[in-house]
Amino acid sequence: MDHAQALNQRREETARAWAISRGAVLVPAGLMLPVAGTDQFHEFHPHPEHAYLAGASAPAGVLAFDPGAGWTLFAHVPGEDEVVWTGAGEPLEETAAKTGLDRVLPLAALGQWLERRRGEPIAIIGNRDLLTDPRGYGLASFDHLELDVDEELSALLSLSVSESRRAKAPDELEHMRLAAQASRRGHLAGMRLARAGITERQLQVEIEAEFFREGALRTAYSSLVGSGPNGAVLHFAPSPKPMRDGELVLVDAGAEWQQYASDVTRTYPVGQRFEGVHRDLYALVLQVQAEAIAGVRPGVEFKDLHLGAANTLAAGLVDLGILRGNPHDLVDRDVHALFFPHGLGHMLGLSTHDAGGCLAGRQPSDRFGLKWLRADLPLQPGYVVTIEPGVYFIRALLTDPARRAAFADAVAWERVDAMLDLGGIRIEDDVLVTDAGAGVLTAAIPKSIAEIEAIRREALA
Ligand SMILES: [Mn+2]
């Protein structure tokens, strides 16, 4: 099945799930966002619901559905001035062939299409800027059309799309595999380049250059590079800080392929070897990750995987003399979360933190050890989740007097005080849930101590 056929099948299934008998559904891509005070625009990202259903990624596109007429894409056609400055863009016939849509019309026809549905219920998913900025879509106003925008229905249909987006189709997985391949090339380059004197920013630039050389059009998210203490900031933007021997460097960077994200973290020594407590902690995080990946299978609750990982981590920290007590009790008291405050992972796809992470009706917990868990649902075949345990020495948490008093018995504070500049270790892979268990899309990116040290030895020889 080619990509256009896959998109047609996706739209048919979506229409069946929506089961609406009258009215229409609009799925706008969104408009370019101006950079305030300039004549420039921010980089454009189509709304994932538009990208998912239309298979198109240009600004100001509107995918429209009507249970009688089926699907129509209204696409922006550049005027002469725009052609002069930015080019003619993709011809509508080409968009039609790529997306499998029979009807791809100029955006100028959207007004008439809506006129014919005057008084009918309309659901709007995708980007809501159609309502606040109709002129950007070539409509004089939205109100004069006297359309009945049904907010409840809109939310319901959007939820239905989020649920469909959880299990990836073969064409989506192909994009995600290519994203993973580009990420591999970048991470390998980073592992070879890192050394004392190189800045975090230099490492970022070279990693991203490899993503782009492989064919990725952009990064899936802003790359994170934190060396030494900077590795303790969960989302640390690369700085001009040079790396130093004896430090670890944490690199969280992923390539995007046809809107599909990869999300990968590797942590390695700035020198040739993982030394001392770095080595112990790295081995522990790797073990936590391996156990979590081994636990991935259809039906398993992601929250249980998270709590299992928390238990293994707590047990390991007890063994290393950093925590004291029974691991289960420590996790019940959220002591592990002082060192592992984020969730085990999240859904991945058209967004880095993809839609549909929580089952309908489930609310995020306000418990310290669970409040940043972004996925709470039973896994099913076709889902792609990240598995990304970590251990961090975060001063804001570990020097807080209230926490130190509350956990006086549970944490070996004198040991922790000696490690406040250690930074952090995170190991993150993208994992496809299969009938048999797990398929790791990013498995070819080295992470064992032996593999990483072999690369580092060769790089620094
Ligand atoms: Mn992630």
pLDDT for position 73: 98
Q: What is the mean pLDDT of residues 283-295?
A: 98
The answer, yes or no, to whether residue 331 has pLDDT greater than 90, is yes
Q: Ligand 1 centre from 61 Cα, in Å?
A: 29
The answer, yes or no, to whether residue 1 has pLDDT greater than 80, is no
The answer, yes or no, to whether residue 120 has pLDDT greater than 80, is yes
Q: Ligand 1 centre from 131 Cα, in Å?
A: 32
Do 182 and 134 belong together in one domain? no
Q: Ligand 1 centre from 387 Cα, in Å?
A: 8
Domain termination residue (choose one: 133, 166, 199) = 166
Q: Ligand 1 centre from 374 Cα, in Å?
A: 10
Kindly indicate the confidence band of residue 184, based on its pLDDT and cuts at 50, 70 and 90.
very high
Q: Ligand 1 centre from 311 Cα, in Å?
A: 20
Do 375 and 286 belong together in one domain? yes
Tens digit of pLDDT for each residue in 193-220? 999 999 999 999 999 999 999 999 999 9
CATH number at residue 121: 3.40.350.10
Q: Ligand 1 centre from 361 Cα, in Å?
A: 24
Q: Ligand 1 centre from 460 Cα, in Å?
A: 29
Q: Ligand 1 centre from 74 Cα, in Å?
A: 34
Do 143 and 208 belong together in one domain? no
Do 73 and 112 belong together in one domain? yes
Q: Ligand 1 centre from 381 Cα, in Å?
A: 20
Do 317 and 434 belong together in one domain? yes
Residues of the domain holding 293: 170-460
87 contacts 79 by C-beta, under 8 angstroms: no
Q: Ligand 1 centre from 263 Cα, in Å?
A: 5
Do 321 and 265 belong together in one domain? yes
Domain count of the chain? 2
Tens digit of pLDDT for each residue in 49-76? 999 999 999 999 999 999 999 999 999 9
What is the Cα–Cα distance from 442 to 428, expressed in whole angstroms? 9
CATH number at residue 179: 3.90.230.10
Q: Ligand 1 centre from 367 Cα, in Å?
A: 21
Radius of gyration (Cα) for the chain, nearest Å?
24
Do 180 and 278 belong together in one domain? yes
